[in-house]
Structures are given as C-alpha cells and as structure tokens.
Amino acid sequence: MADIRVLITAEEIAAALERMGRQISDDYRGKELLVVGVLKGAFMVMADLARQIDIPVEFDFMAVSSYGASTQTSGVVRILKDLDEEIQGRHVLIVEDIIDSGLTLNYLLKSLRVRKPESLEVAALLVKQGIQRVELDVRYVGFEIGPEFVVGYGLDYAGKYRNLPYVGVLESATV
C-alpha cells in the first residue's frame, strides 16, 4: 500500500470550487459559455465545479496525454480526443486539474486559439508554484501548491488514486 499525506481536504476543495464557480458565473453572466474539461484528470473538478456554476453553460471534453506513468513531464502532448463542438466566436473556459510545467496547457491554448474563440480562459484546481516553464495566465485558481507530486481528486500516479476525495502527496508507492 502507498502512504498518502492529505494536502487538501475534500471540504477545502469544495469551498474552493464554490468560490471559483461563483466567480465564473459572475464573469460570464449574460454570455454563452462553453466549459472544456481536459481528461482524464479534470473529470472530478468538472463534475463538482459544474454544480457551482449558475448560468446557462455547455460542456465539452478533450483528452490529452502529456506523459505516461512517469512523474516528470516530457513536453510531448498528444491530443487523444478533440472537441466535439466548434468554438469559433464562443466564450471558452478550459478546466484543468493541475498545471505543472504549463507545457500541456500551453499546447492546448495554442491549438484552440487558431480556431478563433471569442475568449479563451483557464480554470485550474491546482497550480504548482515556482516551477512553471511557460508563463501562463490562469484566470481561476483553486490552490497554489509546492513542487510535490500529488494524487487524488482526479489526479493519478500510473493510472491510480484518481478516486480519492482529497488531494494528497504520495510519500511512497510500494504496490
């Protein structure tokens, strides 16, 4: 079994998503918003954030793969599933689980910008401070965390731990 130290509790996550949902609702009131979740990691954030947004909104998903079972980013991003929706002229909000080097998000932003959305912003539950290799403007941030590798609440290590209701630091993985 792995040792996991709780970093952010389920209650703290819920409070952050409530705050983010309120900001998003206020900022986009009167506009048509398309919220785009980045799979797989953002599935849990999407489900809970969606319920904190009280304006009419549509949802879509993209799936990307930045690295396999490793805990370090390779900088290579593959789009495994593209959007179903056209985004030209639309207000688009990308929802990410975590921004580490920023390479994944940077690549996504570039490939979506050429489709000429009316606006393109980012919401991330977690932003790792101090190690971003790409300067990114993330409009909605849940928590800024240190450089530790975290799991839970959608985040995986080698495909596991996404189902934890909290965010924790993997201290050792012996299984």
Alpha helices, DSSP H, located in 29-141? 43-50, 103-113
Contact footprint for ligand IMP (CB under 6 A):
41, 66, 73, 96-105, 149-151, 155
What sign has the CA pseudo-torsion 119, 124, 129, 131? negative
User: CB of 95: closest distance to ligand IMP in angstroms?
Assistant: 11
At how many degrees (to 10) do helices 10-28 and 43-50 cross?
60
Residue 3 annotated in active site: no
The contacts of residue 138 (CB under 8 Å, 6+ apart) are: 99, 122, 123, 124, 127
Nearer to ligand IMP, 71 or 116 (CB): 71
What is the number of alpha carbons within 13 Å of residue 95 lying toward its C-beta? 29
User: CB of 51: closest distance to ligand IMP in angstroms?
Assistant: 22
The CA-to-CA distance between both ends of the chain, in Å, stands at: 6
Q: What is the dihedral of CA 115, 116, 119, 121, to 10 degrees?
A: 30
Nearer to ligand IMP, 73 or 111 (CB): 73
Nearer to ligand IMP, 55 or 173 (CB): 173
User: CB of 136: closest distance to ligand IMP in angstroms?
Assistant: 9
Alpha-carbon span 10 to 164, nearest angstrom: 9
Catalytic residue among 27, 60, 82, 100: 100
Nearer to ligand IMP, 28 or 41 (CB): 41
User: CB of 29: closest distance to ligand IMP in angstroms?
Assistant: 29
Contact between 111 and 81 (Cβ < 8 Å): no
The residues assigned a catalytic role are 100
